[in-house]
Amino acid sequence: MYKQITEIFTYNFTVATDGLYAIYLSASCGRKNYLRTELDGSALKSLTPKRKNKYFNIPPSWNGNELKGTSKTIVFVIKLLKGNHGLNFIPKGKVEITTEPKITEINDAGLVALFSDIQSENKNCQPWITVALINLPLRFFDASIMCKKKFLDSDDVKLIIDEQIQKNPLKSIWRGKNWFWRGAEIKGNAQTNRFYPDLPTGTHYIDLWSDGTPILKSLDILLIREDAIKRIPTVDNPEWTGDFLDDPEEIILARLIFGEANSEPQKTKEWVGWSVINRTKAKSWWPNTIHGVILQAGQYDPFKTKDPNFEKIINPLNYKNVGETDKKNWFECYDVAKSIILKQSANPTEATHFHGAGVTEDWFRRHIVPKGKFIKKIGNTYFYWSPN
């Protein structure tokens, strides 16, 4: 055991260069105990499919009700800037950080080996290993698993990609269809498979659950060095990289709020931010991601290159004639966006649309939300709900 904690513990570390890094974390916790992590104040999430936890604003990375005292290892693959960083471990109850965090720079291009020859402790259908890609694409990866056939309960491994269980390809199997690698079939051999999720830049998860004591012989993932070159915008350095997909969710949402409600009351900022979330959850033609909604063509004026607010949202702290009040408003917009992303505030509205004083209510009703309804005016902003 590296360290047992019952309250927030911060692990400080330094990286020498900007680049792509793998952060390895291992921990265990018993029933009713949980652990989540933050890097430099931003949440690192490792989702558990279709499971939520009332004790946290975000799902925990380690869920004691599932682990039941066993350990789980997570590797976060993430872009880091040169300098000092703080990794917060935030527990509920008693948690054991089983090994000291390991931070490794990824210098190679192509298939990068993240794990090799890792045997699971004896588990009973429980989480084992997670690979979490943060603001990166997931093109393809190889996994090689060894499972033994045993008399009563053979070794098995479940694979989950972005909360989607990968079914066993042998269609004749019914009871074992959710376990991709099964000792009854492999019989002590190593089986290697290549998977092609081909997912765009975003946050992606590869989860392995184990039953028994299988061995992960190798897990290799395609990583391109160019993915690590671009700077990650932060609240203190939000200058645009030239691609809004490089923005973390809280940054692009803060840009929208800043462009649409810079000088408006905080309540207006909150409603503007939550209206984006409402679109992601609506069963309509809007995308189901924050980036997708905000970047949808023709939707938000500040993201149009010819709009006067465009130069403000791409460099909120350093555009022409920026004032101290504007800078203060940027940080407020970011705080609002972050609280929304982390679900630290409740959704106050069903609004999906809004407009400012430059558009009349009558025109907006007739041309933009003819099937919608007016909800409320806050400050100089009018909010509406519409099914499309």
* Cβ-based neighbour number of residue 320 at 10 Å: 7
- 56-110 tens-digit pLDDT: 334 578 999 999 999 999 999 998 888 889 999 999 999 999 999 999 998 876 7
Helices (H), the chain: 64-67, 183-186, 226-229, 249-261, 266-281, 290-295, 310-313, 324-341, 361-367
| Position 203 pLDDT exceeds 80 | yes
- Give the pTM: 0.61
Contact 166, 195 (CB under 8 A): yes
Alpha-carbon span 221 to 354, nearest angstrom: 42
Question: Taking 70 as the threshold, does the pLDDT of residue 43 lie above it?
Answer: no
Residue 368 to residue 358: CA distance in whole angstroms:
14
pLDDT digits 0-9 by tens, 251-284: 999 999 999 999 999 999 999 999 999 999 998 8
Confidence of residue 48 (pLDDT cuts 50, 70, 90): very low
HSE (CB half, 13 Å, CA atoms) of 75?
A: 20
DSSP one-letter code for 140: -
